Amino acid sequence: MKKHLLKKLYGLTIAAMLFSASANAQIIYTDVNPDSTVTCIGSACTKSYNVDLNNDGVSDFTISSIRNGNICQHGGLVYRSSVSVSALNTNAVIAVTNTTYPLAMNLNNVISSGLSLSASGLVFNTYWGNCGTGSLNLWPNSVDRYLGLKLIVGTNTYYGWARMQVILELNQLS
C-alpha cells in the first residue's frame, strides 16, 4: 500500500511540474482595434506605425512604409517602394537565418530563443524606372503572414506574433 501511494505521489509531482512549466507559456491575444493600415501613395511618402504590444505607453516596434522617386546617375528616374520593421529598445524581430530580413511566418510556426533575431530589417524593397529595376521581396503580396516578435519587459522575455498583410503595387509615381 505504501508503494502504491508513493507511485501516486510521484505521478502527482510529475503532473504538477508539467503544469507549472506550461503555466508560463500562456498565449495572450491582443486585438488592435481597429486594424491599422499604412499606405504610401504619391511621389513622396513616408509613413510609420508604432506598435505598443503591452499597452504601457512605450512603443515596442515601428513599421515604416516609404515611396519616393529620385533622379539617378544617368539623369533618369528611379522609383523606390519599401516596408521595414524596427525593434525598439532591446526588442527584436525573428529574422531569416543569418540575415536582418524579418521572416514571413505561417500560423502556428514555433517561436523560440533559438531562432535568428534582428533589431531591424526590410520586409521588402523594390525599385524601378529607366535606371534599372531590382527587388528584395521576402513577403510577396503576403496575406495573413506573421511577424515573429521578441519583447523584453523588465526582466521578462515574451515571444509573439503580429499578423501582417503586405501588398506591393508598382504604379508609376506622380
**Nearest alpha carbon to residue 94 among 79, 110, 80:** 110
Ranges of each domain in the chain: 29-166
- Cell numbers linked to 170: 508598382
Q: What is the pLDDT of residue 16?
A: 38
Q: What is the pLDDT of residue 53?
A: 85
Measured from the Cβ of residue 50, the count of other Cβ atoms closer than 10 Å reads 14
Question: Residues 2-42: pLDDT tens digits?
Answer: 444 333 333 333 433 433 333 355 666 666 666 677 666 66
Question: Residues 139-174: pLDDT tens digits?
Answer: 776 777 889 999 999 999 988 888 888 776 655 444
Mean pLDDT for 55-70 is: 88
**Nearest alpha carbon to residue 46 among 71, 82, 100:** 82
19 phi, psi to nearest 5 deg: -65, -40
Question: Residues 113-146: pLDDT tens digits?
Answer: 788 999 998 888 887 788 778 887 777 767 778 8
